[in-house]
Structure 1
Amino acid sequence: MRYMVLSVKVFLGLVTALSTLANAPATAQFKLEGHFIAFEPCEAYQSKNKLTNPGNVLTIPRHAYDAVGQNKSNGDFFLVRIPGAPVTEDRWISASCGKHVVASQFNPAQPESPIPSSALPITNGGTESTQNLLTLSWQPAFCETRPSKTECLDLNAGLLPAASQQLSIHGLWPQPRGKEYCGVSSPVRARDTPATWHQLPAPQLDLDTADELSVLMPGTASHLHHHEWIKHGTCYFGAGGSDEYYDDTLYLTSLINGSAAVDLLTANVGRQLTATAIRNAFDEAFGGGAGERVTIKCTNDGSRILLTELWFYLSGEIDEESSLGDLLRAAPTAPAGCLDVLIDPAGLQ
């Protein structure tokens, strides 16, 4: 009888456990940390199998959502948290809609010893820079000449769809030219080469800034954000240090990428555009005179003249309420640069 009683207890325990599992809410098989960056408006499903979407919730392009999980390893759906979504804030998003990122990727372990951030003096004692040059890249053209870089391998493999449809951050450079490496010691400057960018003191960024930067600055994969902060950001003198420097850069870049001027570029991928057409598009987007402060940069790949960058000359203090049109018109006019350029598609041509 003793053995029968134990068997009944085991049986009842199994029934209870199965009942608990049956009534438990469905969760992702793999828990995740970090954020999911949406590249476009996508359905946010309560059930990825039934494709139900209470409230018809859509993701916001270039917005970072808390990542909860994934339906399986290298799965086709991510579970993210969307505050305010009806019925449940945990929603399933197609993996093709964006990219999963974690802040730790900005300071990965390296075999060499990086210079700690404490080695860099605090550089918020000066007056915030009001004369600046914002440099934005057309990433497909950049990657034609540097295909072995990590971000270019990803782009040419189709893993960075956003970078093929918008401008990417190169840097925000306080002017006049030569205003560089403020408070940076010689040992730190000596490591400011592409091969040792990962050893430079890392910019101190909050999670949201780091996540957004990973999308709008593909060069973070090669530690470009370390170099830009050390060389240029240290002379920006924003009260918020490196986080403010990159927040201001991201703000301006998002305004430009959300404009009809960049729509002109993406609508003409694979075609020629004149400097006049590009500058006129910035006049229409940000007011008359804005285009005269935009310089078109290009490179000759042997058979084509490719758009590589746009340079924006700005005058005035930058914050998240600044008018880009006002900042442009306050700056001196700039040369047009290259007069006729091809908008290069992603992938090696």
Structure 2
Amino acid sequence: MIMGLLGRGLLGRGFLGRFLGAGWLLAAPALSPALAEEPLVGSFLAERACPAFVSLRKQTNPGEVRLEVGRAYPVTAANRAAATHVLLTVAEATPTRRWAALDCGQLAVEAGAAPSSAPSSAPSSTPSSAASSTSAFVLALSWQPAFCEGRPTKPECASQTADRLDADHFALHGLWPQPRGRAYCGVDAAAVALDKEGAWDRLPAVALSEPTRRALVRAMPGTASFLDRHEWIKHGTCADAGAGPGAEAYYAASLALLEAINASPVRALVAGRIGGRLETADLRQAFDAAFGAGAGQRVSVSCVRDGGRSLIGEIKLALAGPLGPEVAGVLAARIAAVPPVDPGCPGGIVDAVGQQ
């Protein structure tokens, strides 16, 4: 079902709530049912309206409950190590604990906890792992005036003006394959060392078409400090952007995501609060309005200190795939396909251009 930029599957609630931590594995279906119970923590995305049983042995289903296609359910157990069924929490059902067949959807569980019968397509964290196995991303968007408060000498900050796009629009920071430790796929050791040293100007230039390059320079002010090289080397090399792996596809998808957010009521809300305070709850409500109920629960806000002020510095959006450059039409579904995340800081000031 889900291939391309973000691959198949979801991330578990614990990981996405932190955007850090353990890796996640995607499980494929096995066959024969059993009755033992193996503890499991993860999420199950329903692809078929299968029955949700209270008892596998008796096939009992009080209320004739069926899975809702497209809905993600919390997972608490598998029926055995060589799993064929998973135990879900269906909040509106009585009782809430329900068994569903593994082949009724897509399961994602914490690393090391996947049912042994289910071959994993999860990405390796080694630099040589294939980009096409990426399962999910976090989109990081910066509020550039806040970023520049503490970095006034950086080229992108010294050149910032009130009429430049990033004065009142989100700027692209990065699109990060998950888990976060997944990085530097197929990158040689010398380039990794340069990146970790912060010598981004010595990294190879990113191969992009001229239209994509122009769009990226406008959307990612950090290109003035070679942020594009860093993001590609560290994160983009582990991504498959729908049309195939490569910097062009990776940044085309990143730009499409940024454009969708900046064209939405989310950006309008933030820009309208410049100089004032914005509550994270209000920002999340704007995501709900723009991308459907519950979308805001997939957004985390990071704040930065500037003297005695707390500024909105960045938002991080968790989402599943596929994406690709046509993502605007399917973004709501991609956001809905992942569990909620921690909201982050409760709110802060939306900074204006210039040192305050």
Fold shared per TM-score above 0.5: yes
Greater relative contact order structure (CA < 8 Å, 6+ sep) = 2
1:348 & 1:259 partners in 2: Cα distance? 28
Q: Name the SS for the 1:298 alignment partner.
A: strand
Query: More helix per residue: 1 or 2?
Result: 1
Fraction of identical pairs, as percent: 41
Q: Who wins on radius of gyration, i.e. which is larger?
A: 1
CA-to-partner distance for each residue in 1:21-74, whole Å, 9 max, x for gaps?
xxxxxxxxxxxxxxxxxxxxxxxxxxxxxxxxxxxxxxxxxxxxxxxxxxxxxx
Unmatched 5+ stretches in structure 2: 1-126
After superposition, the CA RMSD in angstroms is: 1.8
Contact 1:139 1:308 survives alignment (8 Å): yes
Distance 1:126 1:274, change over 3 A: closer
CA-to-partner distance for each residue in 1:320-347, whole Å, 9 max, x for gaps?
3331111111112111101021000000
The residue type paired with residue 259 of structure 2 is S
Counterpart position of 1:333: 340
CA-to-partner distance for each residue in 1:139-196, whole Å, 9 max, x for gaps?
00000011110000011xx276211110000000000120011111211111115752
CA-to-partner distance for each residue in 1:217-261, whole Å, 9 max, x for gaps?
000000000000000001003314000000000000000000011
The alpha-carbon deviation at position 128 of structure 1 amounts to 5.2
Counterpart position of 1:250: 255
Work out the number of aligned pairs and report it: 226
The residue type paired with residue 324 of structure 2 is D
Counterpart position of 2:216: 213
Match of 1:232 among 235, 241, 256: 235
Contact 1:124 1:237 survives alignment (8 Å): no
The alpha-carbon deviation at position 131 of structure 1 amounts to 0.3
- TM (normalized to structure 2)? 0.61
2:255 & 2:302 partners in 1: Cα distance? 21
The residue type paired with residue 171 of structure 1 is G
Contact 1:162 1:215 survives alignment (8 Å): yes
Distance 1:184 1:160, change over 3 A: farther
2:257 & 2:331 partners in 1: Cα distance? 7
1:249 & 1:347 partners in 2: Cα distance? 27
Counterpart position of 1:345: 352
Contact 2:141 2:315 survives alignment (8 Å): yes
Contact 1:133 1:313 survives alignment (8 Å): yes
Match of 1:144 among 146, 149, 155: 149
Counterpart position of 1:30: none
Distance 1:250 1:124, change over 3 A: farther
Match of 2:293 among 288, 292, 295: 288
2:181 & 2:128 partners in 1: Cα distance? 17
1:240 & 1:207 partners in 2: Cα distance? 18
The alpha-carbon deviation at position 201 of structure 1 amounts to 1.7
Unmatched 5+ stretches in structure 1: 1-121
The residue type paired with residue 316 of structure 2 is W
Counterpart position of 2:200: 197
Counterpart position of 1:161: 164
2:206 & 2:129 partners in 1: Cα distance? 14
